[in-house]
Amino acid sequence: MNYGKKSTAKKRTALISRSSMMGKRARVSFIRVLFVSLIALCIAVTCLGVGSFRGVIDTAPDVDDIDIMPLGYATFLYDDAGNQIRKLAAPDSNRLPVTLDQIPVDLQHAVVAIEDERFYEHNGIDVKGILRAGMKALTTGDFSEGASTITQQLARNIFLGYEKTYSRKIKEMFIAVALEQKYTKQEILEFYLNNVYFANGYYGIESASEAYFNKNAKDLSISQIAFLCSIPNSPNRYDPYKHKDSTLKRRDRILKNMYEDGYISESQYEKSVAEKDNDHAEKKRQQRMTTRKHTF
């Protein structure tokens, strides 16, 4: 046997090479197993997510089975001469229906400017709005900015309710897309304005206009339009009878949005911001406050 230095060096090199190869193979095998495991996990999570999503969608109401037209209109009693003597309305049935051509264009613009600035561009879901709200929440911790489109709000009002869950939000988005496929933008806006709640038992723009300003919606000033459009975002927070100052602040924000979006001129903006609250609305507010004091 050859026990020379060369022979010993060769054997040592061979052993090292063999150990090195085994180590490399072990590392490769581990990486392969890890990679396959990650793929399997991704597939499982995806399947679970898709399954859950499909389960939520399958329980969503069918748009084709439900009439989207607003329900719950007020009833009026007239005498033999045709004079109105009484109005009958339940708490959730106080609507006065109007078609879109009876609603001022400025009012339509005000709603879009504050509630859904890309209303005429999206298919029911505003992806840009969702990303913006998400970034704001992540960077500032402020989760107050919503990203629900007018169509989503309509879907929630008619089909779902106000339960704050992820499943309801998924259904809301699904129904919104279905509504956009079935109706025109003009029809959706008309349905929304006849459905939306304006606090104090008033549903729909015409009912709110008569209640707060004693006039038809078509006769509202730009300032009054913005004032009414302030309420639906949060009927409690912007209740004109309880929180008038908050309502006026939001009115000014809406007017600013309308000006910046090109819906009104600078002179219209300045005039509308300077306009004082309507006497009729103020009288009704004072009456409500007086009634509450006497009640308590």
Which mean pLDDT values do the consecutive 10-residue runs of the chain (296 residues) have?
57 58 62 70 58 52 59 47 47 70 91 89 85 68 66 85 75 88 92 90 90 92 94 92 92 93 92 76 59 50
- Alpha carbon 48 to its chain centroid, in Å, reads 27
Three-state DSSP at 90 gives strand
Largest CA distance in the chain: 132
Q: How many angstroms separate the first and last alpha carbons of the chain?
A: 114
Instruction: Please enumerate in sequence order all residues whose Cβ is within 8 A of that of 203, keeping only pairs 6 or more positions apart, or say none.
Output: 70, 72, 92, 93, 94, 95, 195, 196, 197
Helix (H) or strand (E) holding 75: strand 75-78
Calculate helix-pair angle for 244-260, 222-229, nearest 10 degrees.
110
Contact 170, 143 (CB under 8 A): no
Phi, psi of 236 (to 5 degrees): -75, -45
**SS3 label, residue 197:** strand
Give me Rg for the CA atoms of the chain. 31
Instruction: Look at residue 78 in the predicted model and tell me its pLDDT.
Output: 42
Q: Alpha-carbon distance 106 to 263, whole Å?
A: 7
pLDDT at 217: 92
pLDDT for 240 equals: 92
Task: Give dist(CA 236, CA 225) in Å, integer.
Answer: 19
- C-alpha span between 282 and 213 (Å, rounded): 9
